Amino acid sequence: MALKSSKKIETNVYELEVSVDAKTWEDAIDQAYNKAKKDIQLPGFRKGKAPKAMIFKQYGKEAFYNDAIDIVFPEAVDAAVKEAGLELVDSPFDGDVKEIGENGVTFTFKATVKPEIKLGKYKGLKVSACPVDVTEAEIDEQIESMRERSARLVEVDRKVKKGDLTTIDFTGSVDGKEFEGGKAEEYELEIGSGSFIPGFEDQIIGHKAGDEFDVNVKFPDEYAPELAGKDAVFAIKLHTVKEKELPKVDDEFVKDVSEFDTVKELREDTKKHLLEHKKEHADQEVEEGLAKELAAIVEGEIPEVMYEREVDEALQNFAYQIQQAGMDPDMYLQYTGMKVEDLRAQFKDRAEVQVKCRLALDKVAELEKIEVSDDDIKARYEEMAKMYEVEVSVVENAFPKDQMAKDLKGSKALEIVKAAAKITEEKPAAKKAPAKKEAAEKKAPAKKAPAEKKPAAKKAPAKKADK
């Protein structure tokens, strides 16, 4: 196989011409024949038993050309791209056979390549991050969470109030007809948790165990289509009311919930871990800020396919997270009133920043002449193996060496940018009230829609090349 020519035909697009020699081509035809022969039958022979020479005489080698091209195409393309010194950002397209016969095959294809960019001043970028300090109130909040986890539930004979855990039966109906998912027995509901649609939990407050009553609610406009905006009545039977009995924070409590002996030791350790968490968060904020700043100083024409593939990856990861939360992605979209196009639009801006940031870091690595040694790669493999608790060989198989080297170059480039950045501390802004659309993520009784999670970066699967 040989690269005959490589020429730039438009911005970020090349056309390559490749020839496959007679021997390689003949081998590919043989492979195609061996794959197909079991299904070939000639008069006088059992299916799959006719001699090769007779099959070729009957049908001609040309009958196997298409399958043979499928066999040689991937390897020939990879070799040509490598010889041309190109870095592709998408699968080859517009494959076209120019010559084909006993002496081999010649074909052309087009490829979108990594763009050449210019980068503005990348040292001295200004970013902000939350200050890294821990208040006594934050320590109190963590210890209060420990108390909550250690709380006992005690049944009480009084009216329900916010924070109580109730056990109820309910049957929901719209226009006098029960609807799917609107019925349950012995359902445990924490009042004030916001688990159910607005207004449901509030109407249980003030009732006592044994009471039977109706709850009247209206489904949000952004709810599932068959229920959106409709008035509903839930017949409730309240079985039990329980309240949390929290333990006293003393040395005995500390010994029960931790490895420490005193409240003072627990508070000191809690402060230490809060500081570590805040430092990690601040560092993440800085890196996210730098990504945006780097993206802003990238100059060049970026292939749209790079953004689209980034969005594809985000959608795949998002769907995976939804499934891990126990819900079908299509059902999630139905409950939130969203479409796939809405999700793509949400991910688009983030995708553009990520793509431009990677290009910027590649450029920084080039300008700073960053090198990655075999020892660097080995150390990273060992670090990841320890992190995932697997053998190093597993990590090596999952992450090719050349990709690992590229990722490490990017990490080193980011450290250079970060070390030269001007980082200022900034107090976090006050939290905004939730948008109306979040009401769509409240559940009707017995149905749950998980909150949206941010996708993690992940490589998109390679597509099959067109020929």
pTM of the model: 0.70
**Does the structural domain 152-245 have CATH classification 3.10.50.40?**
yes
**Distance separating alpha carbons of residues 208 and 193, to the nearest angstrom:** 19
pLDDT in tens, 195-254: 899 999 999 999 999 999 999 999 988 888 888 899 999 999 999 999 989 999 999 999
- pLDDT surpasses 50 at 192: yes
pLDDT at residue 464 tops 60: no
The predicted structure's pLDDT at residue 43: 85
Question: What DSSP designation does 349 have?
Answer: H
Ranges of each domain in the chain:
2-114, 152-245
pLDDT digits (tens, 9 = 90+) for 118-153: 999 999 999 998 889 999 999 999 999 999 899 999
Write down the architecture of domain 2-114 according to CATH: 2-Layer Sandwich (3.30)
Among candidate residues 140, 133, 118, 129, the one with its CA nearest the CA of residue 359? 118
Q: What is the DSSP string of 195-230?
A: -BSTTTGGGTTT--TT-EEEEEEE--TTS-TTTTT-
pLDDT at 157 over 60: yes
> Considering the chain, what percentage of its residues have pLDDT values greater than 90?
75
Residue 211 to residue 230: CA distance in whole angstroms: 26
Compute the average pLDDT of residues 374-398.
94
Burial of 197 (0-12, 13-18, 19+ CB in 10 A): buried
Token representation of residue 269: 């350790």
pLDDT of residue 439: 33
Q: Which residues of 421-442 are buried (b: 16+ CB within 10 A; e: fewer)?
A: bebeeeeeeeeeeeeeeeebbb
Beta strands at 126-129 and 422-425: parallel, antiparallel or unpaired: parallel
